[in-house]
Amino acid sequence: MIDCRSILLRPTAAGSVVSYLGLFLGWLAALVLLAGFFSFAFFQLDYSWNWDGVWVYREKFLDGWITTLWISAVSLLLSVGIGFLVALGRSSRIYFVGSLSALYVELIRGTPFLVQILIFFYIVADGYGISNRYVVGILVLSVFAGAYIAEIFRAGFESVSSSQRESARAVGFTQSQTLRYVVLPQALRQSLPPLSGQFASLIKDSSLLSIIAVSELTLNAQEVNSFTFSAFESFLPLAIGYLILTLPVSMFSRYLEARLKHPS
């Protein structure tokens, strides 16, 4: 006979085995509930769905998705570089470097990404003669995400205690050896989970580049909508396209969190 409690409830005692049946039924119930909630809304809507139109343009979705993928990947690398340098800059002894870093972080985090894209594209990029909208898109996305990543790295640096730095000095490390062997490994460990959350955000934020006609997933979905004279059909593949990118990132983050936990 099956014990109902063990299927319904997670065990409280540490080390006891999780019921896989319970876990499976839990996920199933959650999915059914969500499906029911949206099904009701969809059936209330008096709208004739036209999925054939979307299917005809499937390659256009794929093209957009691939553009989103590589724009995100390049921006991700660039933003990590920017974030790292700015995080170091914020703790610099040179006043100017500290101020510049702080100004950058506060301005970027305090203004909407949409505004940044428009100013960069129509004023800054134009003024400096950068005409390729993909280059501008990657730069503005990297600069935007870099500010958040800088704060993540800064929190990571600050999590390394002063007694660790003193220990490093005592064993005879130079400043750069201290950074390399003691501060960075510990700071990165702290930063990885929030960093992967930021990566998921970056992927979704790339959708805003559609307003400067970067032909990524969102822009292509909007175009399909207008080609097929439909209102909603493209949004479903759009959401799925982003989930395919963001879910692995968030699963990887969960995995890292579990792996890097070291008792201190």
Partner 1 sequence: MRLRLQNLDLNFGEDSVLRDLSVESGEPSVLAIVGPSGGGKSTLLRILAGLLRPSSGDVYWDDVRMSFSEKNLLAYRRRVGTVFQSFNLFPHLSAVENIALPLRTVHRFSQGDAMERAEHYLDRFQLSKHLHKKPGELSGGQRQRAAIARAMAFEPKLLFFDEPTSSLDPEMTYEVLEAIREIRNDGRDLVLVTHEINFAEEVADELWFLYDGVITEKGSPKEVIRSAASEEARRFFERVLRW
Residues in contact with partner 1 by the rule CB under 8 A: 161, 163-164, 166-174, 177, 181-182, 185-186, 189, 262-264
Q: Which tokens belong to 162?
A: 């002063």
- Taking the least distance from each CB to partner 1, the nearer of 36 and 172 is 172
To the nearest whole angstrom, how small is the minimum distance from the Cβ of residue 173 to partner 1? 7
> d(Cα 230, Cα 222) in Å, to the nearest integer?
10
> d(Cα 157, Cα 185) in Å, to the nearest integer?
10
To the nearest whole angstrom, how small is the minimum distance from the Cβ of residue 181 to partner 1? 6
- Taking the least distance from each CB to partner 1, the nearer of 159 and 222 is 159
> d(Cα 111, Cα 245) in Å, to the nearest integer?
26
> d(Cα 72, Cα 205) in Å, to the nearest integer?
9
To the nearest whole angstrom, how small is the minimum distance from the Cβ of residue 174 to partner 1? 7
DSSP for 18-59, written as a single string: PPHHHHHHHHHHHHHHHHHHHHHHHHHS-----HHHHHHTHH
To the nearest whole angstrom, how small is the minimum distance from the Cβ of residue 14 to partner 1? 18
- Taking the least distance from each CB to partner 1, the nearer of 171 and 236 is 171
Distances (CA, A) of 120 to 80, 104, 173, 210, 231: 20, 14, 43, 14, 31
- Taking the least distance from each CB to partner 1, the nearer of 126 and 166 is 166
To the nearest whole angstrom, how small is the minimum distance from the Cβ of residue 162 to partner 1? 9
Q: What does the radius of gyration of the chain's CA atoms come to, in whole angstroms?
A: 24
To the nearest whole angstrom, how small is the minimum distance from the Cβ of residue 153 to partner 1? 17
- Taking the least distance from each CB to partner 1, the nearer of 182 and 200 is 182
> d(Cα 200, Cα 207) in Å, to the nearest integer?
12
Q: What angle do CA 52, 234, 50 make, to 5 degrees?
A: 30
> Rounded to 5 degrees, what are φ and ψ at 130?
-95, 115
- Taking the least distance from each CB to partner 1, the nearer of 49 and 173 is 173
